[in-house]
Amino acid sequence: MVNITLPDGSIKSFEDAPSGRDVALSISEGFARNCVAVELDGAITDLSTPLPGDTAIRLITKKDPEAIEILRHSAAHVMAQAVLELYPEAKLTIGPAVENGFYYDIDMPPVSEDDFEKIEAVMKKIIKAKLPFVREEVPKDEALDFYKDEPYKQEMLADLADGTISFYKQGNFTDLCRGPHLPHTGYIKAFKLMKVSGAYWRADQNNAQLQRIYGTAFFDKKQLKKYLHFLEEAKKRNHRKLGIAMDLFSFHDEAPGMPFFHSKGMAVWNVLLDYWREEHQRAGYVETKTPIMLTRTLWERSGHWENYRENMYTSEIDDFEYAIKPMNCPGGMLLYSSQPHSYKDLPLRQGEIGLVHRHELSGVLSGLFRVRVFHQDDAHIFMVPDQIQDEILGVLQLVERIYSTFGLKFHLELSTRPEKSIGNDADWEVATDGLRSALDRYGQEYKINEGDGAFYGPKIDVHIQDALGRTWQCGTIQLDMSLPERFDLFYVGKDNDKHRPIMIHRTIFGSIERFFGILIEHFAGRFPLWLAPVQAALLPINDDLVEYAESIQSTLEAAGLRTELDRRTESLNRKVRDAQLAKTPLILTIGGKEKEAGTLSVRTLDGKVRYGILQQDFLDQVVAHVKTRKLDFDIFQDS
């Protein structure tokens, strides 16, 4: 008798060793139809795998988070089978599941999205056939013989240790794979090929260029439809397109990966930094500034020359080597060491909007999200050990205030000591306990990433969530036990002896350029009034009213509002449409009636039009709305 224990503690008994599917069927046929794999001893394996005697298992259903990756990995195999049927000379490499889908890298003639329809048609036939995914294991020499005409598989096999090699078959298709896979191809209820791009074998430009075909797959058509709708929404919010349409920034071939901010983009930029400075002054920070180019000896001392050299831009001046800073931290160490410190000076909170340069490969550059030059809102906090918890809590509260102002939710992750690290066990324990205690006091749930900290200390990562539910890692809070040691930083304690300060690195915006891009997509370009590059567009209905409109513009700008006066001889409808396309929150129509009555007609981004608003009432309500940094467009108190 074989006893199988389920997660709820119940036990299922069988005369012979069952498979995961047998256990699922013993619960019900309906339940079995929803099962895709089984977890055994912490590893996920195929539902058909015989279970090794008495054991505890967890059946993976379509609703479990692991299931979608299994589905997409299986879909990659189906796509590869379809490609080989259509292009018999194609050579397969790898086809993993990735976030939101899967891809397969294939050595074959170039294909385009125009070819997707015929590939999808073959995939549908394979899925309809409900071909079982069958695992086979053979010795390595047999695997090499099987793939004697497949150079990429031969190379992959050569990297594997001698022993048993696993294959998966579906119909007449076989692929080298660890698995697991779905019970059969019919589980793939909805899929779509998405795009194709070039990719070098093993990401090496000296190797052959392959065709990387991307797709996505779901367990039902509603999920696919929802995902495709999400992509359409994301496309509408694409910050690169909106940035150009709204005249915020541009990129030029003369400076790849280095954004040029236009006057309207700088208006938003300055509002962001004004807010940052206001909040940091309130939180007890002082603002500092360090040079962007420092000597090689500094970067050797900090460890960046050894560990980060390939990402740094360098120059030679007066026979000395220099590097443009990729990070602000070493300059912050020099600032601290420029004068003596007592325990009475601590905590010392130094913030910097630092301009940094990092060499990124051209293939990964992506609008404002991945650039080669950007500004970091760094801060370095120096403290004594018993201040760790309060300082971390203070940073978390500052993070919450700032993100909530933009309507951004967030979650937290604590990453602990990695295998490769510096420092002693006692310091790591103090640092990690300080972060954990602060998180516990803060009271928000957090995830622990064991062994995922920086080599110099544990950290808290802050992941924000935008209006489409996408997450972005922006803020980070890191405890550093390396740089204070490398730069021999100290403070004089109560005992009049020297002590090493504890240091926190932290960012909130992270890369300000990237945060800017996130905000464009979060708001779909419809910035709240306080953040909008142009807060009010003035539209005189004819040339005779331009001078009057200019006087109104002067009054608004004197009150601190950002305005734009449309002097063109276009129709009023055209002017209104252009202002709406520019996402201007307030569109002021100025006609003869408005001039005579001293009123304004105001159109807002929520689609409402209000007539006869007295100019002073307009000014009072708009200024109050901006001052409180409200997110909604309900600016006026309706009478």
Is residue 530 included in any domain, yes or no? no
Same domain, 201 and 257: no
Catalytically annotated residues: 329, 358, 376, 378, 380, 459, 505
Where a domain ends, among 167, 199, 234? 234
Determine the structural domain holding residue 562 and report its residue range. 536-627
Same domain, 43 and 123: no
Q: Which residues of 88-101 are buried (b: 16+ CB within 10 A; e: fewer)?
A: eebbbbbbebeeeb
Same domain, 44 and 78: no
Q: Beta strand 536-540 with 563-565: parallel, antiparallel or unpaired?
A: parallel
Is residue 222 included in any domain, yes or no? yes
In the three-class reduction of DSSP (H, G, I as helix; E, B as strand; rest coil), residue 547 is classed as: helix
Same domain, 347 and 441: yes
Same domain, 17 and 50: yes
Q: What is the pLDDT of residue 639?
A: 41
Q: Which of 376, 365, 377, 406 is nearest to 259 (CA)?
A: 365
Which amino acid would we find at residue 343? Y
Q: Distances in Å between the alpha carbon of 72 and those of 97, 152, 177, 190, 216?
A: 5, 22, 14, 11, 7
> Each residue of 197-243: pLDDT tens digit?
999 999 888 999 999 999 999 999 999 999 999 999 999 999 999 99
Question: What's the pTM?
Answer: 0.82
Is residue 34 included in any domain, yes or no? yes
Is residue 312 included in any domain, yes or no? no
Q: Which of 609, 511, 592 is nearest to 549 (CA)?
A: 592
Q: What is the pLDDT of residue 243?
A: 95
Q: What is the pLDDT of residue 306?
A: 84
Q: Distances in Å between the alpha carbon of 613 and those of 99, 545, 617, 632?
A: 51, 18, 7, 19
CATH of the domain at 612: 3.40.50.800
Tokens of 60: 């993976």
Q: Beta strand 286-287 with 348-357: parallel, antiparallel or unpaired?
A: parallel
Number of domains in the chain: 4
CATH of the domain at 450: 3.30.930.10
Tokens of 125: 């036939």
State how far the Cα of 77 lies from the Cα of 83, in Å rounded to an integer.
10
Same domain, 507 and 551: no
Same domain, 265 and 193: no
Q: What is the pLDDT of residue 427?
A: 80
Same domain, 260 and 407: yes
- Where does residue 38 rank: exposed (0-12), middle (13-18), buried (19+ CB within 10 A)? buried
Is residue 479 included in any domain, yes or no? yes
Gyration radius (Cα) of the chain, Å: 30
Q: What is the pLDDT of residue 637?
A: 63
Q: Supply angle C-alpha 514, 515, 521, rounded to 5.
A: 95
Is residue 576 included in any domain, yes or no? yes
Point out the residues of the chain with pLDDT beneath 70: 637-639
Q: What is the pLDDT of residue 170?
A: 96
Where a domain ends, among 206, 234, 262? 234
Average pLDDT, the chain: 93
Is residue 518 included in any domain, yes or no? yes
State yes or no: cis peptide before 7, omega within 30 of 0: no
DSSP assignment of 421-477:
--S-HHHHHHHHHHHHHHHHHH---EEEETT-SBTTB-EEEEEEE-TTS-EEEEEEE
Same domain, 227 and 336: no
State yes or no: cis peptide before 533, omega within 30 of 0: no
Q: What is the pLDDT of residue 638?
A: 54
Same domain, 117 and 189: yes
